[in-house]
Amino acid sequence: MMDVRKEFETIVKAAEQLGTDASRFLDKRFASIVISGNRVIGLNNVPGLRLIHEPIEHGVKVDIEIDDGAEIPLPVHVCTGYVEKKGYQRIIFNIHVGKRAKVKFVAHCVFPQVEEFTHEAISNVLLEEGAYMEYSDEHYHSDAGTIILKTTTNATVRKNGVYKNEFHLTKTRVGKLDVRMFLTLEDYSVGELVSKVRASKDDEVSINEVVHLNGEAARGLAKTVVVGLDRARVNVVNEAYGNAPHSRAHISCEEITKGSEVVVSTTPILKITNDLAELTHEASIGRVNQKQLETLMAKGLTEDEATDLVIKGLLV
Amino acid sequence: MLILKDVTYRTLNKEILKTLNMEFLPGTKYVILGTNGAGKSTIGYVIMGLEGYKPSEGRIFLDGRDITDLSVTERAKLGITLMWQEPARFDGITVETYLTLGGRLGVSKSEVQEALEFVGLDPALYLNRMVDKTLSGGERKRVELASLLLLKPRYAILDEPDSGIDLMSLDMINNVINYIAQYGGTPIVITHREEMAYNTEYGYLICAGMILKSGKTQDVIADFRGTCEVCKHPNLPVNGELK
């Protein structure tokens, strides 16, 4: 078993592969938490924000409290890692953003050398009235493709709150991925759920984004961009429920396929229980748009180069 | 020299181009003029070799080499490029990445900045803009013109280069066209507006997929005025012939 220092270095180094500035985990101006396996090996709080952790079976539970009116000036860095080759990790985040508070999270999940590993993450998020929160979650996996990743987010946004949640797994193999995001929007609140995944070889991806428009004039977006390559299996179901007057939501599912054995399905589900609500969707599955390809090919790129460039853009 | 020899292009139901013979000399500015639906853009697509636009009959030659069966990329590598009337949009790709083709074009940042300035886009504002729907039609078109400056193609097909761009910017477009001709390239302007033709030297007047007139631009424009602008049946030949 590695010592804590070595674990920290391994995890932070892997996070650097995702483009993060690792020095931020040591910079006292940034709130941060570094979790390895079932231990917290780095922690820094800043005024207005408290990260409180406790061990649970196979993992860690972290309560994150942002005080009413607190505006956290710099992103909160959350790094979750696992440095062993086999195992199971369970992480629970309970995030409470106080009234009119403002916070941005940058999360990195790094599993650089796992072989038989299951990671389960559950985030329970509550934004109080007028609160603002962004959560960007990026993953870095080993190339083994044997990881099982289950991530579930339950978020409620009170009146006038704004919540944005992005999940990215675009730079490494996926393994088996199960993303579930459930968002409840109250009066005049705004919420966005975005998932971007690049699945290759035998990767299996399941994404379910659900938006409940429960408050008047609430606005929501559930967006998925998945690139399925080789023999990847991808299933996307995005749902929106218009339950309140003048609420609006849009579902966008864009699935790009390349590979004769890739299987991708996408299902938008829209349901209205209030006739003043408005729901829309757009969904597409297929190769990269021919005009985009030919535009780049007419400048000298090969079809593969053009495809790569278009895909990289979609997954930004 | 780029040559279209007896090029016919037909879809299942219709003959779009009919036995076209065209020549484009290096360093010379050309116009392909005609009303909407005449087949002008199709000529551009056939020259570029886009999917579904292989000539049904006839061949295309570049410097004596038959390029009819070459791919779009292969034609581009030989120096042919096309600027679409409605250029494609790209989510997540910045103007800088697009213009450098993700770094593959081998141009410096200062060259990119210079090209943007040439087409009237402030590099400080546009280098990091996305080439997506947030650009207006005119802005997108200008990015495409900047791309031509950086690519320095031997044969640049500009399909309706002024569409979406304000009339005041006609000089800028003509400057791009002149720049291409100055280094020995051949701009081929496809347009239905005679104003866009003024800056060219030679041209083809197209109607119903046929060449109605070829020669010096002023002669082509004269025929366009005398024939097409007053025509009551554009792209519909009378008794099988153009009148």
**Domain residues of chain B, as ranges?**
2-89+152-228
Higher pLDDT, A82 or A20: A82
Q: Do A291 and B102 touch (CB under 8 A)?
A: no
B57-62 sheet: strands from edge to edge: B15-24, B2-10, B57-62, B65-66
Chain A residues near residue B77 by CB distance under 8 angstroms: 300
Output the six-digit token pair for B97. 């990445």
Q: How many CB atoms lie within 10 A of CB B11?
A: 10
Give the residue from A58, A65, A11, A61 showing the smallest Cα distance to A34: A11
Q: Is the pLDDT of residue B211 over 70?
A: yes
Closest-approach residue (CA) in chain B for A297: B73
What phi and psi values does residue A199 have, to the nearest 5 degrees? Answer: -105, 135
Report the alpha-carbon distance of residue A226 to residue A284 in Å, rounded: 11
Residue B239's pLDDT band (cuts 50, 70, 90): low
Sign of CA dihedral A156, A64, A136, A285: negative
pLDDT for B165: 83
Q: Are strands B65-66 and B57-62 parallel, antiparallel or unpaired?
A: antiparallel
Question: How far is the alpha carbon of B63 from chain A, nearest alpha carbon, in Å?
Answer: 19
Q: What is the DSSP letter of B78?
A: T
Which of A2-6, A227-231, B10-14, B59-63 has the lowest average pLDDT?
A2-6
Chain A residues near residue B105 by CB distance under 8 angstroms: 299-300
Q: Is the pLDDT of residue A22 over 80?
A: no
Nearest to A296 among B51, B89, B101 (CB): B101
Residue at token pair 């985040």? A93
* E strand spans, A158-286: 162-169, 176-185, 190-199, 204-213, 219-229, 233-242, 248-258, 263-272, 278-286
Q: Do A289 and B72 touch (CB under 8 A)?
A: no
Helix H or strand E encompassing B3: strand B2-10
- The listed CATH number (3.40.50.1360, 3.40.50.300, 1.10.10.60, 2.40.30.200) that belongs to domain B2-89+152-228: 3.40.50.300
Output the six-digit token pair for A104. 């941005």
Q: Do B90 and A292 touch (CB under 8 A)?
A: yes
Q: Is the pLDDT of residue A46 over 60?
A: yes
Nearest to B93 among A289, A301, A313 (CB): A313
pLDDT for A295: 98
Tell me what the pLDDT averaged over chain A comes to: 93
Mean pLDDT to the nearest integer, A136-158: 92
Q: Do A295 and B97 touch (CB under 8 A)?
A: no
Report the alpha-carbon distance of residue A87 to residue A100 in Å, rounded: 40
Q: Do A299 and B147 touch (CB under 8 A)?
A: yes
Residue A24's pLDDT band (cuts 50, 70, 90): confident
Report the alpha-carbon distance of residue B174 to residue B160 in Å, rounded: 12
pLDDT for B207: 92
Tell me what the pLDDT averaged over chain B comes to: 94
Output the six-digit token pair for A270. 């829209």
Chain A residues near residue B84 by CB distance under 8 angstroms: 291, 295
CA atoms within 13 A on the CB side of A113: 9
**Residues belonging to chain B:** 243
pLDDT for A7: 79
Q: Is the pLDDT of residue A18 over 80?
A: no
pLDDT for A64: 97
Mean pLDDT to the nearest integer, A220-232: 96
Which of A7-21, A154-168, A179-193, B127-141 has the lowest average pLDDT?
A7-21
Closest-approach residue (CA) in chain B for A299: B76
CB pairs under 8 A between A and B: 69
Quick one: CA torsion of B124, B125, B130, B133, rounded to 10 degrees?
-160
Report the alpha-carbon distance of residue B71 to residue B82 in Å, rounded: 13
Share of chain B above pLDDT 70, in %: 97
**Residues belonging to chain A:** 316
pLDDT for A193: 98
Chain A residues near residue B129 by CB distance under 8 angstroms: none
For A12-65, the DSSP string reads: HHHHHHTT--GGGGT-TTS-EEEEETTEEEEEE-BTTEEEEEEEETTEEEEEEE
pLDDT for A260: 86
Which of A53-57, A185-189, B164-168, B191-195 has the lowest average pLDDT?
B164-168
Which of A10-19, B96-105, B157-166, B202-211 has the lowest average pLDDT?
A10-19
Q: Do A294 and B72 touch (CB under 8 A)?
A: yes
**Mutant choice from A170, A294, A310 vs B, greatest count of B C-beta within 10 A:** A294
pLDDT digits (tens, 9 = 90+) for B68-123: 999 999 999 999 999 999 999 999 999 999 999 999 999 999 999 999 999 999 99
Nearest to A314 among B50, B71, B91 (CB): B91
Q: Do A297 and B76 touch (CB under 8 A)?
A: yes
Give the residue from B46, B27, B34 showing the smallest Cα distance to B200: B27
Q: Do B88 and A301 touch (CB under 8 A)?
A: no
Report the alpha-carbon distance of residue B48 to residue A34 in Å, rounded: 54
Nearest to B82 among A298, A301, A302 (CB): A298
Residue A14's pLDDT band (cuts 50, 70, 90): confident
- Chain A residues whose C-beta sits inside 8 Å of any chain B C-beta: 289-292, 294-303, 305, 308-310, 312-316
Q: Do A292 and B72 touch (CB under 8 A)?
A: no
pLDDT for A316: 84
Q: Is A179 within 8 Å of A204 (Cβ atoms)?
A: no
pLDDT for B238: 58
Q: How far apart are the first and last CA of chain A?
A: 36
Distance of CA B214 to the CA centre of its chain: 17
**Mutant choice from B67, B70, B90 vs A, greatest count of A C-beta within 10 A:** B90
Residue A208's pLDDT band (cuts 50, 70, 90): very high
B1 touches chain A (CB under 8 A): no
Q: Are strands A278-286 and B65-66 parallel, antiparallel or unpaired?
A: unpaired
Does the predicted model carry a pTM greater than 0.90?
Answer: no
Quick one: CA torsion of A256, A260, A263, A265, rounded to 10 degrees?
40
B 102-161 → A contacts, CB under 8 A: 102, 104-105, 147, 151
Mean pLDDT to the nearest integer, A271-292: 94
pLDDT for B228: 82
Share of chain B above pLDDT 90, in %: 86
Q: Is the pLDDT of residue A232 over 90?
A: yes
Q: Is B145 within 8 Å of B87 (Cβ atoms)?
A: no
Q: Is B102 within 8 Å of A306 (Cβ atoms)?
A: no
Q: Do B101 and A290 touch (CB under 8 A)?
A: no
What phi and psi values does residue A83 have, to the nearest 5 degrees? Answer: -105, -10
User: Would you call B192 helix, strand, or coil by DSSP?
Assistant: coil
